[in-house]
A and B are shown apart, each in its own frame.
Chain A
Amino acid sequence: MSTEATLFDKLWARHEVAELGEGFSLLHVDRHVVPDFNGNAFTHMTRRGLRVRNPELTFSTADHSVSTDPRLPDPLQADNPHLIALREGTRRFGIRLFDLREPGHGIVHVITPEMGIALPGLTVAIGDSHTCTHGAVGALAWGVGQGEIVHILATQTCVQLRPATMRVRLEGTLPAGTSGKDLILFLIGQLGVSAGNGHAVEYAGSAIDALPMEARFTLCNMSVEWGARYGLIAPDETTFSWLHGRPYAPQGSDWDAAVADWKTLRSDPGARFDREVTLDVRDLVPQVTWGNSLDMVAGVDGCIPDPSSEQDSARRHNMHASLTYMGLRPEQSLAGIPVDRVFIGSCTNSRISDLRLAAQIVRGRKVASRVRAWVVPGSELVRRQAEDEGLAQVFVDAGFEWRSPGCSLCLGANGDTLSPGERAISTANRNFAGRQGPGSRTHIAGPALAAATALAGAIADPRDYLP
């Protein structure tokens, strides 16, 4: 039997507390973060008389339910019932809560790496499907439902079925005007929304090696959108530099010991994956979705396909339904479709590098008069840094609304919402029907395309706006 192991194999083996048979293992959870939509978990803990086993490994923040309106009379939103439950529960169980306005507050998948809570070699479980984001640092990270949160709080473990392994090699230098978001949208368009089901995916290849850290978060964030519950990138010097000095990262001699261990966290040269895919991304074009499934995506210089040329009848049905819902036509050009709203934000694209990219495009220009455009920074620290760098002023001068951190328009269930029929470009991760509000029409894209679209008042190619 080969002793060559994949990165996934190494992480799984390290964290197995018990084997339960037939592929199931009880895994230790090294880091657990509780976002505000899961405040009920604390109620269940109290009702059942359970204690939190390791409060020092548990953190919390408020993101899904909060308003991002920067002009609220009560910036701490004391009347929000989710926050009441979260503040009470974290206090009762001795859990660190990164509350509104504090450094460390923000969208859970932005603050968890930002704070150095997610580190290479750790397991991270969070009650949100985009937990796969943290695989970008070489952590084994997965999303769970609320019932599992109670289990993790009480036992610091989680039962998981060992998945198959897949490696996706992305080869080539990313062309100017494209980013991590275009990379993952392109991948999903090529492979389909269920290709990763039952797999842990490792992203590798020259495009990954050259990818900046925050773009890696964007890429891994959307692993779940093509069925992969775990999405991993082996840690390297890019990872170590980005993590160094973060509040919960190791320090001093601990740091040196940690890095020595982290350098072993990669797939052995001879390791076998159950499936291997290679994609050439040299000719990547900025991507934008047109339908209600993320594989309904194309280059911004392209057209919506004709559903009647789709062989698979289930997919054809869904394409027709999407075009009806989205008010679009087969073979319609994507560029030039008028939009009403632009949302730059979410756990996918709200980090400082995303804001710098958008600011570069809008600097000295104006948002089209028909468009209402928002920028929602992913965390309190991102907000402050963006303000210090003058990016916030660039957005405001251009006519964007500069908001407070939170999940905001990604999910339309916190007061930030689109009106029925409004068409939006969103840098979030889901274009499902009604996602941003009943009757809302969502196109997913990266921050550069979103910024260009805000200026044009219609879906636009960001490459036309670069120097």
Chain B
Amino acid sequence: MNALVTLDGPAAALLQADINTDIIAPLVRGQAGPQPAGIRSDTELAQRLFGPWRYRADGTPDPDFVLNQPPFDRARFLVAGPNFACGSSRETAATMLRAFGIRCVIAPGFGGIFRDNCFRNHMLPIVMDWPTVQELGDAARAGIAFHLDVAEGTLTVAGRPPLHFALPSFRRESLLQGRDEVELTLQRVDAIDAWQKRSRAQRPWEWTSASRTIG
């Protein structure tokens, strides 16, 4: 279900700085051929999330890693450290989190491409200042459930006043309605046609040079 209206559940905390996309969404490495192709199932995506930290060398789950520990193995939220998901553009950094069940990540800052990938997958990345994030991390570790209300723009930790976060209205509507971005943009086809027509007239070399064969 794509719409994100409210979210309730445990929050996992991983507050190290600069957690990169190779940790969050590892490629299949070290084998003789390329990593597997094709669209992966949610089960497989969920299983591969945080692979380098989640599994021991022998492939068994590391009991000391937060996502392997109840109740965080059912986490709906992730409280993360500065510059979370820096590195690659790979969308699996978002889709693996989502497949695991996490649809809201709170951090002092994100890799920019990851942030966009979250919204595309109807997930919400929230930027909050580092002291607040650290307090949320404490609450998360204590097993206190989080509650997200997208329409209200609030994140509530049980027993405390709601925290307000900024969210552009265009993003909020997109989450609440779960609408697909391609369909939304195709409604603007007239504007795209008009832009291209102007561009062809003003800078024709940008268009004629595009259809060339190599000698």
Contacts and interface: CB of A to CB of B under 8 A. Distances in A.
Interface of A: 17-18, 20-24, 26, 28, 30-31, 39-40, 43-44, 48, 50, 53-54, 56-57, 64-67, 80-82, 84-85, 102-104, 115-116, 119, 121-122, 127-129, 131, 143-148, 150-151, 154-157, 159, 161, 163, 193-194, 197-198, 224, 227, 229, 247-251, 254-255, 257-258, 261, 293, 314-315, 317-318, 411-415, 417, 420, 430, 432-438
B89 A143 contact: yes
A155 B89 contact: no
Name the residue in B23, B32, B81, B90 with the highest tally of chain A Cβ atoms < 10 Å from its Cβ.
B90
B212 interface: yes
B154 interface: no
A147 B168 contact: no
Given A157-B185, A197-B83, A434-B26, A81 B37 contact: yes
A193 B117 contact: no
A417 B186 CA distance: 42
Interface stretch (B42-50, B71-79, B144-152, B199-207): B199-207
B180 to A, nearest CB: 9
Contacts of B88: 128-129
B112 interface: yes
Contacts of A65: 34-35, 37
Contacts of A414: 33-35
Interface stretch (B4-12, B61-69, B155-163, B189-197): B189-197
Given A131-B89, A411-B27, A414-B35, 10 more contacts: A17-B191, A26-B191, A28-B192, A80-B33, A144-B89, A148-B117, A194-B109, A227-B86, A415-B33, A434-B22
A54 B196 CA distance: 11
B17 interface: yes
A147 B91 contact: yes
Interface of B: 15-18, 20, 22-23, 26-39, 52, 81-83, 86-91, 94, 109, 111-113, 116-117, 120-121, 168-170, 181-182, 185-186, 188-189, 191-192, 195-196, 199, 203-206, 208-212, 214-215
B18 A293 contact: yes
A351 B81 CA distance: 37
A24 B23 CA distance: 30
Contact of B205 (A18, A255, A317, A411): A255
Contact of A432 (B23, B90, B185): B23
Contact of B168 (A23, A193, A197, A435): A23
11 contacts: A17-B192, A22-B170, A28-B195, A65-B35, A80-B34, A102-B214, A145-B116, A155-B186, A224-B113, A417-B29, A434-B29
A193 B83 contact: yes
A436 B29 CA distance: 8
A143 B113 contact: yes
A396 to B, nearest CB: 25
A257 B112 CA distance: 35
A247 B212 contact: yes
Contacts of B168: 21-24
Contacts of A229: 112-113
A148 B120 contact: yes
B188 A17 contact: yes
Contacts of B39: 40, 43-44
Contact of A18 (B20, B87, B191): B191
B209 A81 contact: no
